[in-house]
Amino acid sequence: QVTAKTAFLFILPQYNVSVPTADGELVQYHYGLKDLVTILFYIFIAIVLHAVVQEYILDKINRRLHLSKVKHSKFNESGQLVAFHLTSVIWCLYVVVTEGYISNPRSLWENYPHVYLPYQVKFFYLCQLAYWLHALPELYFQKVRKEEIPRQLRCIALYLLHIAGAYLLNLTRLGLILLLLQYLAEFFFHMARLVYFTDENNEKLFNVWAVVFVVTRLFTLTLYILVIGFGLPRVESQALDPERGNLFSFLFNNILFRMSVLLLVCLFQASVMWRFIHFQLRRWREYWHEQSSRKRAAAAGTKQQTKPLKRDSGYHENGVVKAENGTSPRTKKLKSP
């Protein structure tokens, strides 16, 4: 029994409480330091799953494609993220639909702070934190190039900041919707990269990703403004209450804090859109340059084929063209009888 209790500490979410409802009692959860133990356990699970996907799927595909070292590294990265993003999108969509966050958008800020979480919501956040923390040692296991490490570290840090911030600030409902939008756009991007590595002439999925990316950015910014700018100010937020697990929600009582968060969000989204526009412009320039090069090459080949070639029917002798048998190539006129 002692071993079972210790195992439950690693496997199952902790800090469960019975919340009275109209239909009886409902078991829900809040966060605490014991969550770190659960996250540690699922970090090892994520490392094992990462190795399984790499060995039994990605390595087999890589042997057939014969990619260069740079493309090999990017293919592995996109392959792992496609598997993760697809799983997360399906799981997150199931959670937000079953909890009614999409059918009732007002639930994103009503009864804030959302200190008590359903089991599936808390378990989803713990697994998300475990996955992005496991990505840190994977940089060593996958032997990522030094030039790629800063970019991947920034990506991991941003995801951890977003997920941990939503978890600790009791904005889990908003965080779920935002993660769903972000993972959807990232799934199309990495799927487009995988298709591109198999066939460099196939870039149609990049166009699909561009449309999805712009739409998800607009929805993301709208949700931030709607929830933080208009929804939360109408709710009487509770004060600091460590016993209930409410440690940071009182910050949203301060209008200066809310405006600072919105300003940071807008600046971040603007920087993301700027990088996206710059990437698309560079991609279009390369595409049109390639198309114009092909047209010039095709035109030059056509000119060479259509240029008339001078051919002599015999050889020259004293400035007069002679036929091969030594006779004049001119046809003789027959005298009329």
The answer to whether 185 touches 213, Cβ cutoff 8 Å, is yes
Most confident by average pLDDT, 256-270, 275-289, 322-336: 256-270
In a domain, 75, yes or no: yes
Q: How confident is the model at residue 90 (pLDDT cuts 50, 70, 90)?
A: very high
In a domain, 327, yes or no: no
Predicted pLDDT of residue 223: 92
Predicted pLDDT of residue 198: 85
Q: Express each pLDDT in 226-266 by its tens digit.
A: 988 888 887 766 666 666 666 667 777 778 888 888 899 88
Q: Express each pLDDT in 166-190 by its tens digit.
A: 999 888 999 999 999 999 999 999 9
Q: What is the mean pLDDT of the chain?
A: 83
Residue 224 pLDDT > 80, yes or no? yes
In a domain, 163, yes or no: yes
Q: Name the nearest CA neighbour of 141 among 50, 43, 41.
A: 50
Written in H, E and C, the secondary structure of the chain is: CHHHHHHHHHHCCCCEEEEEECCEEEEEECCCCCHHHHHHHHHHHHHHHHHHHHHHHHHHHHHHHCCCHHHHHHHHHHHHHHHHHHHHHHHHHHHHHHCCCCCCHHHHCCCCCCCCECHHHHHHHHHHHHHHHHHHHHHHHCCCCCCCHHHHHHHHHHHHHHHHHHHHCCCHHHHHHHHHHHHHHHHHHHHHHHHHHHCCCCCHHHHHHHHHHHHHHHHHHHHHHHHHHHHHHHCCCCCCEHHHCECCHHHHHCHHHHHHHHHHHHHHHHHHHHHHHHHHHHHHHHHHHHHHHHHHHHHHHHHHHHCCCCCCCCEEECCEEECCCCCCCCCCCCCCC
CA dihedral sign, ordered 127, 128, 129, 135? positive
- Tokens standing for 22? 């109209």
Q: How confident is the model at residue 334 (pLDDT cuts 50, 70, 90)?
A: very low
In a domain, 36, yes or no: yes
In a domain, 319, yes or no: no
In a domain, 330, yes or no: no
In a domain, 68, yes or no: yes
Most confident by average pLDDT, 52-66, 82-96, 272-286: 82-96
Predicted pLDDT of residue 238: 62
In a domain, 317, yes or no: no
Select the more confidently predicted residue: 150 or 67. 150
Specify burial of residue 38 (Cβ count, 10 A radius: 0-12, 13-18, 19+): buried
Segments forming the whole domain that contains residue 198: 1-294
Domain count, the chain: 1
- Tokens standing for 278? 């710059």
- Model-level pTM? 0.82
